[in-house]
Structure 1
Amino acid sequence: MTNFFLYFLMILLISCKSDDKTYQRLSGNALGTTFSAIYDDAQQRNFEKEIDSLFHMINQSLSTYIPNSDISKINSGDTLVQVDHYFEEVFQKSLNICEETGGYFDPTIGLLVNAWGFGPGDGLANIDSAKIESLLQGVGLHKINLVNGKIKAKYTPFFLDFNAIAKGYTVDVLGRFLESKEIENYLVEIGGEVRTRGKNERGLSWKIAIEKPHFDGSRSYQSFVLLSDESIATSGNYRKFKIDSITGARFAHTIDTKTGYPSKSDLLSASVISSLDCADVDAYATAFMAMGFEKTKAFLANKPELKVFLIYEKDGELMTYNTDNLEIEFPGSE
C-alpha cells in the first residue's frame, strides 16, 4: 500500500446516542499528557480519586521529571533507595524486551537522551563524538542489576529512563485497577497508548483511529483499527525533533543505542497491537523505531502475537506496511 497513511494513534471520539447509562467517562491530565477512561459500571462509580492516587504513586516511583522520585534519586547516585513493585515490574519488563530486541530498547539510553536535549534537562551545548563515546560506557541494561529491591550498577554515571514504557505501563495499572472493581468493559488511554477490554457502549469492539502525519500540528484521521481485549501503542519521529541551528538538519528523539546518535532509521512510525500488556507494545514500538523497517520486518516474522502497522520512507516517498494479522478499516466502510 502506498496511501499517505498516518503516523500515530488517538482515540476516535465517536458521538453516538446510547440508552446504556452505565458507561462512565473520566479525563484529565497526567504524566505530562492527557488521559481518558471509559468503563461500564452499573453502580456508576467515580474512580477519579483512586486514579489520581495511582498517578501519584507511579510518578513518585518512575518519573525522571520529579527530583525526589525514586528513579531520580537512583540516577543521582543514591544507592539506598528501596524501589516499589511498580519499579520492579517495569525494570523486569524492560530487561526482557531489551534482551529480546538485541538492545534496541534500552532504558539506560537516558544518558544520551539527556545529552541530546530530549530529557528533563537542557542537554549538552557542545556534544561531540568523544563525549558520546564516553556516555555510551554507561549504556546497557545488562550493566544494571536489581538486588533485593535496590539498584546496583557496574558503571557510573548511568541514567535510567523508563519514559518509553511508562505511559503504557500506567495504562495497564489503571486497567488492572478497573478489573479489580469487576469492570469487564473499558478503555483506558494515556497520551495515545490504549488498553481495552470487552466492548464499547454500542456492544462493539473499541474503534481507534490512526492519524495522518501533519507537521504543522493539525490533526485528522484516515483509517481505523478495532480492539477487544488488546492494547495498542505507537512511536513516531515526526512530532518530536530538533533542528540543528547551523545546518538546519532535523534530528529525531529516538536515540540509537548502538551509536549514541539520533536514529537515522527509515522508519517514521510504528504502531503495535497485541493482547499483551500496553507496557510491552509501548516498548516494542520504541525498539522498532530504532531498528528500522527491514530489521523490524524480520523481527516480526517470529512474533505472531504482534499486529503492527509501519510507515517508512523509501526513495523519498512514504510507504506503509502492516502484518497480515492486522485488519484496517477506512472511513465510510462501515
Structure 2
Amino acid sequence: MKKIVAAAAFLLIISCGEKHDLKTTQTFVGNAIGTTYGIKFFHDKKLDIKPDVEAIIDMFNQSMSTWVPDSRINQINAGDSTIVVGEAFKEVFDFAKQVHTDTDGYFDPTVGNLVNAYGFGADGSQEKAPSSQQIDSLLQYIGFDKMSITTVADGYQVQSTTKGMYLEFNAIGKGTLVDYIARMLNEKGVENYLVEVGGEVIAKGHNLEKDTDWLVGVNAPKKSKTGEKMVLIALNLKDKAMAGSGNYRKFKLDEESGQEYVHTVNPLTGQAVPSNVVAVNVIAENCTLADGYATAFMAMPLEKSKQLLPQLDHIEVLIMYLDEYGMLRFEKSAGFDAYVKK
C-alpha cells in the first residue's frame, strides 16, 4: 500500500471525478516488476487501461524477466536453443545492441553471471562477494558481441558462441515497460500523458491542467535508502523519456572485508566497487534507450564518459560525481541545460 501511495504522490493526483472533458486528469497506479508504476493522462473519454497495463506486465514477465522461473529468457539461459521469442523481445535485444555498441561495451546485458555472483540478480544469493579468481572465471561468459538473434518461421531465436552465458534485460526493464505502456496509450489515441515505472518516465504532449510541458524531478544522490528524497533539479519534458541510475540506491557491504559493492557491474573488469560517479540521468527518444545509456554511464569511468558524450548527440546526459574533496559536481552533455526548468 505504501508503494501505491508513493506512486500516487509522484503523479500529483488532482481529480478523480466522473466528468471527463479533455482537461480532466485520469490516473492509474499499481505495482510491477518489483516496483511501482504511475500513469497520468488526458482524454475526452474515460478509459479503463488497468487490464491493458496488466497484460503488458504479464507479457514482459513471461518473455524477459529473469525473476520468473519459466520465462523465455530463463529458458534461453538454461541452454535451450530452440526457444522462440517474439517481436517485443527482438526489439529490446536490438536496442540493447545499439547501446552496447555506442558505449564501447559498458552496457552489456550478458553481465548476468557476475550480477548473480555479487548477489544482486535473480539467481544471486551469495553473502560474500566473488573472489578475483571467480571474477576472472566468469568474464569468459561476458560479451554481448557473442550473442545474436535470427529470424525463424514463427519468431526469433537467440544464439551464443559460448555456452553458459546469462542474458538479462533487468538494467533496462523499467524503461522497456514504460515504452510498452506509452505505446498502448498511443494506440488508444491518447496524445498527452506521463508514464512512470520505478522512477523512469516518458512524457508526451503537455500537462493540460497547467498548459505546460510535463515537469519531472531529478533526485539528489544519497548513499542510503533511508530518508526523504530531495529533488535536485526539475526538467521540462515533451515527447521525451528520461531514466536514471545510481549506486546509492542499491549496494551491499562485505562484513569480512568492509568493502562496499554496488549493483552496477563493470562488464569489462567484472568489478562492482563504487566510483566517484554517484548518479546518472539520461534523456532520450524512448525509455529503453535512456535506461540502457544511464546504466552504461554509471558503469564507465568518468573520463571515458567525458570522451563519449560529444559523440552521442541523440541523447542528453547529466552525470553527478564527487570530486577529490567529496563535493558533488556535474558533467553534462551540451544540450542538457535546455531541459532544465529555469
How does the TM-score come out when normalised to structure 1?
A: 0.90
Q: Distance in 2 between matches of 1:184 and 1:21?
A: 12
Question: Superposition pairs for residues 186-225 of structure 1, below 5 Å?
Answer: 186-200=193-207, 201-214=209-222, 215=224, 216-225=226-235
Deviates more, 1:301-310 or 1:94-103: 301-310
Q: Distance in 1 between matches of 2:13 and 2:138?
A: 50
- Matching of residue 182 in structure 1 with residue 192 in structure 2: no
Q: Distance in 2 between matches of 1:76 and 1:299?
A: 35
Gaps of at least 5 residues in structure 1 are 1-9
Offset at residue 184 of structure 1 (A): 0.5
Report if aligned partners of 2:193, 2:206 keep a CA contact under 8 Å in 1: yes
Q: Distance in 2 between matches of 1:202 and 1:139?
A: 48
The DSSP-based 3-state class of the residue aligned with 1:251 is strand
Offset at residue 21 of structure 1 (A): 5.0
Report if aligned partners of 1:22, 1:43 keep a CA contact under 8 Å in 2: no
Distance 1:210 1:11, change over 3 A: farther
- Partner of residue 241 from structure 1, selected from 246, 251, 264: 251
Report if aligned partners of 1:263, 1:290 keep a CA contact under 8 Å in 2: no
Distance 1:66 1:98, change over 3 A: same
The DSSP-based 3-state class of the residue aligned with 1:301 is helix
State the one-letter code of the partner of 2:113.
L
- Partner of residue 297 from structure 2, selected from 277, 288, 294: 288
1:172 corresponds in structure 2 to 179
Distance 1:217 1:74, change over 3 A: farther
Offset at residue 322 of structure 1 (A): 2.7
Q: Distance in 1 between matches of 2:313 and 2:31?
A: 35
- Partner of residue 324 from structure 1, selected from 330, 334, 340: 334
Deviates more, 1:233-242 or 1:244-253: 244-253
Offset at residue 170 of structure 1 (A): 1.2
How does the TM-score come out when normalised to structure 2?
A: 0.88
2:148 corresponds in structure 1 to 145
- Partner of residue 161 from structure 1, selected from 153, 165, 168: 168
Report if aligned partners of 2:221, 2:278 keep a CA contact under 8 Å in 1: no
Question: Superposition pairs for residues 102-121 of structure 1, below 5 Å?
Answer: 102-121=104-123
1:310 corresponds in structure 2 to 319
The DSSP-based 3-state class of the residue aligned with 1:312 is strand
Offset at residue 307 of structure 1 (A): 1.7
Cα shift readout 1:148-180 (whole Å, capped 9, x = no counterpart): 311211112110010111111111111011001
Gaps of at least 5 residues in structure 2 are 1-7
In angstroms, what is the RMSD of aligned CA positions?
A: 2.1
The DSSP-based 3-state class of the residue aligned with 2:330 is strand
